[in-house]
Amino acid sequence: MADLDTFRQETRDWLVKNAPPAIVGVASSDLEGNWGGKKATYAVPEMKTWLEIMGARGWTAPTWPKEYGGGGLSPAEAKVLAQEMAKLRIPPPLIGFGLTMIGPTLLQFGTDAQKREHLPKICRGEIRWCQGYSEPGAGSDLAGLQARGVIEGDHMTITGTKVWTSYADKSDWIFALVRTDPAAKKQEGISFVLIDMATPGVSVRPILLISGASPFCETHFENVRVPLANVVNGLNRGWTVAKALLGHERSMIADAFGGGGGGQRTSRGSALLRLARKHVATDGERIADRVLRDRIAQEELDTRAFALTVQRARDAAKAGHQPGPESSIFKVYATELNQRRHELMVQAAGPAALGWEGPGFGDEELELTRDWLRSRGNSIEGGTSEVQLNIIAKRVLGLPD
């Protein structure tokens, strides 16, 4: 404990000395550049400096081994670092699929050469990753995917189409599933491949969403040559890797919507409460409408309880526990919580939430409707709620088919 107290004090001193003042308290909506990569643009330029400082220390990935660019911290030390950053209102220097999805998967399944090649670049935020799983005919039935990888010597040639590829247009590399043995049972003929998006034959086309933004793309592969050294866990053994990565993805989604990111509070309460106080009648500090007040209180209680549960799972993950099928429970709960929160926000704002663009509405109001519409996708991305309920029934509760 004494060691941990010393570590806490040293960490706090280091953060105070090294964090650029301009990044303190930066809102999550201004963290776009934090995804890193060659095409990163920073709403707050000092965030780039912060990424470089933390990347050099390995504290973008605090628990990853130092030899792969991480901080080599113990789970307890990493928790102290996160706590001190939160107290000082210092935002994370780096977020994204490198840290949360492909990095942990490579740590588990990658060869030493793959780890040495990719993990340090993830830690320094040099490369942004996207995910090439879904296809026009393979979403929930992911193992039905058709993108083909034909082996030719020490390369494979990939042809096929991936869809709903989040941020493909902003990413440098993609981790993708391709069929390398069409004769095998469908789960057994799949390989997990790392592909440089700059390889000839890769093209992306943004897709417009109901929220008005285009965060994801259709990604097409036309005779794309990829070295076999980029196959993770060996040819035709990609399904195991794919499932492990989905566990990390579902934990990340739960963390973002229900744990760390969901319903963040300031001294004036959650965003939901602040919004309600602004738009509906109050009785002192209280929302006057009893029904709305009750629904907001329930949402806040559920969010708080869930955040604590996620924290417990996060601690277990730092101690080396790989997320299993139970991550599906978190995914369903977190996404439903987030959707409920956005519905309440729109309801509380009333007519102020009807704006789409143009004058007459503030920036926060214009974002409300779009964020609410975006939240509809939460129960689809990373595997739909129905599919998660099937996983929970079969693999957590052990119910028969």
Ligand X SMILES: Cc1cc2nc3c(=O)[nH]c(=O)nc-3n(C[C@H](O)[C@H](O)[C@H](O)COP(=O)(O)OP(=O)(O)OC[C@H]3O[C@@H](n4cnc5c(N)ncnc54)[C@H](O)[C@@H]3O)c2cc1C
Residues tagged active-site: 249
CB of 215 to ligand X, least distance (A): 7
Q: Shortest Cβ distance from residue 384 to ligand X (Å)?
A: 3
Q: Is 154 helix (H, G, I), strand (E, B) or coil?
A: coil
The β-bridge partners of 219 are: 162, 204
**How many Cα neighbours within 13 Å face the side chain of 240?**
11
Nearer to ligand X, 55 or 160 (CB): 160
Q: Report how far apart the first and last C-alpha atoms of the chain are (Å, whole number).
A: 49
Size of the site for ligand X (CB under 6 A): 19
Binding mask 216-235 for ligand X (x = CB under 6 A): x-------------------
Contact 103, 94 (CB under 8 A): no
75 vs 261, which CB is nearer to ligand X? 261
d(CA 211, CA 290): 31
Residue with Cβ nearer ligand X (168 or 296): 168
Q: Closer CB to ligand X, residue 69 or residue 132?
A: 132
- Provide, rounded to whole angstroms, the least separation between the CB of residue 254 and ligand X: 15
Q: Closest separation between CB of residue 385 and ligand X, Å? A: 7
The rounded Cα 140 to chain-centroid distance in angstroms is 19
Site string for ligand X, 182-221 (x = CB under 6 A): ----------------------------------x-----
Cβ closest to ligand X, residue 48 vs residue 162: 162
Residue whose token pair is 């526990």: 321
* Integer CA distances (angstroms), 192 to 36, 102, 176, in order: 23, 11, 6
Q: Of residues 269-308, which lie at the interface with ligand X (CB under 6 A)?
A: none
At closest approach, how far in Å is the CB of 85 from ligand X? 27
> Collapsing DSSP states into helix, strand and coil, what is residue 233?
coil
Q: Which two tokens stand for residue 398?
A: 């052990």
Rounded to 5 degrees, φ, ψ at 339 are -65, -40
- Closest to 173 (Cα-Cα) out of 126, 206, 140: 126
Q: Is 383 in the site for ligand X (CB under 6 A)?
A: yes
Q: Which of 105, 165, 328, 375 binds ligand X (CB under 6 A)?
A: 165
Nearest distance from residue 302's CB to ligand X, in Å? 23
Written as one letter, the residue type at 97 is F
Q: Are 7 and 77 in contact (CB under 8 A)?
A: yes
Centroid of chain to Cα 333: 16
Q: Is 155 helix (H, G, I), strand (E, B) or coil?
A: strand
Contacts to ligand X from residues 33-52, by CB under 6 A: none
Which residue, 40 or 296, is less far from ligand X as judged by CB? Answer: 40
Q: Are 209 and 215 in contact (CB under 8 A)?
A: yes
Question: Which residue has the closest beta carbon to ligand X?
Answer: 139
| Closest CB 305 distance from ligand X, rounded Å | 26
Contacts of 322 (CB under 8 A, 6+ apart): 108, 244, 247
Query: Which of 49, 111, 157, 390 touches ligand X by CB under 6 A?
Result: 390
Residue from 35, 164, 306, 333 binding ligand X (CB under 6 A): 164
CA–CA distance, 305 with 139 (Å, rounded to integer) = 31
Nearest 5°: CA angle at 309, between 303 and 311? 100
Nearer to ligand X, 48 or 170 (CB): 170
Which of 50/175 has CB closer to ligand X? 175
Question: What is the footprint of ligand X within residues 341-380 (CB under 6 A)?
Answer: 377, 380
Six token digits for residue 322: 């790989």
Of 43, 23, 136, 33, which Cα lies nearest the Cα of 85?
Answer: 23
Does 381 sit near ligand X (CB under 6 A)? yes
In the complex, the smallest distance separating the C-beta of residue 189 from ligand X, rounded to whole angstroms, is 18
Q: Is 269 left (phi over 0), alpha (psi -120 to 50) or beta?
A: left
Among 208, 298, 386, 395, binds ligand X (CB under 6 A): 386
Binding mask 124-163 for ligand X (x = CB under 6 A): ------xxxxx----xx-----------------------
Residue ranges in contact with ligand X by CB under 6 A: 130-134, 139-140, 164-166, 216, 377, 380-381, 383-384, 386-387, 390
